[in-house]
Amino acid sequence: MNNLTASAKKFLKNKNMVTIIGVVIILILLYVGYSTQINRAVEPVQIPVATQTIQPRTEITDDMVELIDMPNISLSDNVIRTRSSIVGRYSNVNTVIPEGSMFYTETVVDEDELPDVAFSKVKAGEIPYNFPIDMESTYGNAIMPGNMIDIYMKIGDGQDEKIMLGKLIENIEVLAIKDSSGRAVFEDTNEQRTPSMMIFGLEPNLYLMLKKASYMSSLGVELYPVPHGGTVEAEGATQVSTQQLVDYIDAHSVNIPIVDETVTDPLTPTVSETGGARNTVTIKYPEGCNGTYTCTYVKDNGKSQRVTGTTQEVVYTGKGTLTATVQESDGTAHTITIDIPMTNSTNSES
């Protein structure tokens, strides 16, 4: 034991040896630390990528996302790393997410973050209507998006003309309520915003009727919303039917015939098909698919296929669906979607 102690003291007195061992220990620690950092950097992690090209303002569904392994070092901080943070959200305005691309925080947003989300909720065949409101007419902000309302109409001032009151339109869904700056009233609970406009969709005939009535204020016409199912009573007013109100509006306005002209978008692809057991569908694209535009098609919800020519043939052996798209450089997409066979084709442009 004494010999061991003496050897240790002798060893520690040898400064050169102690220095060498210290350097060796430091090098070992540096090597271990460096190796650990390298291993962490190159260790593969699973991240979500797009299984198809996703157009702007598109809801991202589960089949549009798959997980792949990527080195951790190749991922930037703005890469979204979980599927749950993507599915159910939307591609941002003027943002195209290419097939195989990672998802980034600036390219994926919630539905209510889209600047014109109210208009995207307008049903096919309806026209968005901007109805003026204030705090009083919304019952102190009690009417909110998603509520159903009726529009009542009052005629007359009670002096020169007897007051008439009735329900003009019923069962309308409120799509958005905004302030005078166009900001959604209920999107920020930390800020008090005063309602100024209510947005909802109306069929063309109802839109025209309500717009006519809104210009009749000089006749004592007032329009105001009421929660659907509620009743309105006004002392001294004569309750009238919806048809009587419509007749009054028509009697005080001029109807100008509208010529129904179908405007064809030159950038929207066209589709034709031939019958038979192997049904050939031909897509015709505008000039410019080889550079000016990005032209694609999707067969039966499969992967998006790039097209560089002006025609593309797709073969079907049974029923299916086909979507063809021409995308401009600014992200504007012109799309046609049809059912195969084309008996009940439905075309849509975005």
DSSP secondary structure of 190-224: TS-----EEEEEE-HHHHHHHHHHHT-GGGT-EEE
Question: Could you tell me which residues come within 8 angstroms of residue 58 by beta carbon, excluding any fewer than 6 positions away?
Answer: 90, 91
Q: What does the pLDDT average to over 176-182? A: 84
Alpha-carbon distance values, 201 to 120, 146, 280 (Å): 10, 12, 39
Alpha-carbon span 341 to 276, nearest angstrom:
11
Q: Omega before 204 cis (within 30°)?
A: no
Nearest to 320 by CA among 343, 289, 291, 304: 343
252 touches 244 (CB < 8 A): no
pLDDT in tens, 54-91: 988 789 999 999 999 888 777 788 999 999 999 999 98
Q: In percent, how much of the chain has pLDDT > 90? A: 35
Q: Judge whether residue 327 has pLDDT over 50.
A: yes
pLDDT digits (tens, 9 = 90+) for 330-344: 888 898 888 887 654
Taking residue 338's Cβ as centre, other Cβ atoms within 10 Å add up to: 21
Domain ranges of the chain: 2-39, 44-113, 119-251, 270-344
Sign of CA dihedral 303, 305, 311, 315: negative
**To the nearest 10°, the Cα dihedral for 128, 130, 131, 133?**
140
The mean pLDDT value for 266-289 works out to 85
d(CA 288, CA 346) in angstroms, rounded, equals 25
What's the confidence (pLDDT) of residue 215? 92
Quick one: pLDDT band at residue 1, thresholds 50, 70, 90? low
Instruction: Please state the rounded mean pLDDT for residues 87-107.
Output: 88
Q: Say which CATH architecture domain 270-344 belongs to.
A: Sandwich (2.60)
Provide Rg for the chain, Cα atoms.
33
The pLDDT of residue 168: 93
Q: Which residues contact 280 (CB under 8 A, 6 or more apart)?
A: 273, 274, 313, 314, 315, 316
* 16-62 pLDDT per residue, tens: 666 777 677 777 777 666 666 665 655 788 899 999 999 887 899 99
Residue 344's pLDDT is 41
- Are 44-113 and 270-344 equal in CATH topology? no
Candidates 246, 73, 225; CA nearest to 155 is 246
DSSP 262: P
Q: Span 44-113: which CATH code?
A: 3.90.1210.10
